[in-house]
Amino acid sequence: MMLSALVLGLILTSNAQNILSKVGSAAALTGLDVNSLTSGVLGKLTPALSLTTAQKPTVTSIVKNFLVQKATALATQKTDPVGSKNKVNSLVSGLKTKLGNVLTVAQLAKFTLLKPAAPSASNVISQLFY
């Protein structure tokens, strides 16, 4: 019994590491530095939305998960441009929904107003909309 639990634990650990390496590869292929982007985005969102100390960890987690999933979707852009675009659009919509569960109505309205007119490499917030 103990041996089978140990084997199961090793299999789960191996699978988790495999998933993390795939996400890392996707981020590398797309040029997205998820940790740096998350930090930059929160640096803008925190004052712009007046995030509370209670909201900040949850918003950070939502943004980081979004950026990881976006990197994975963008990794397929060359082989499946339409599918990649649709997946990113779906992720953007899901991001707004998830943030809506954490932010106040006023904060969510401010978040929507932060959307730049076009994607911009110099505006880290555009990563959340495009």
Q: What is the pLDDT of residue 31?
A: 67
Amino acid 32: pLDDT: 74
**Cα-based distances in Å from 102 to 60, 84, 112:** 11, 27, 14
Count of domains observed in the chain: 1
Per-residue pLDDT tens, the chain, 130 aa: give them: 433 433 434 343 444 444 444 444 444 445 678 999 999 999 999 999 999 999 999 999 999 999 999 999 999 999 999 999 999 999 999 999 999 999 999 999 999 999 999 998 899 999 999 8
pLDDT at position 121: 86
The domain containing residue 9 runs over which residues? 2-128
* C-alpha–C-alpha distance, residues 93 and 91, integer Å: 5
**Residue range 33-49, pLDDT digits in tens:** 899 999 999 999 999 99
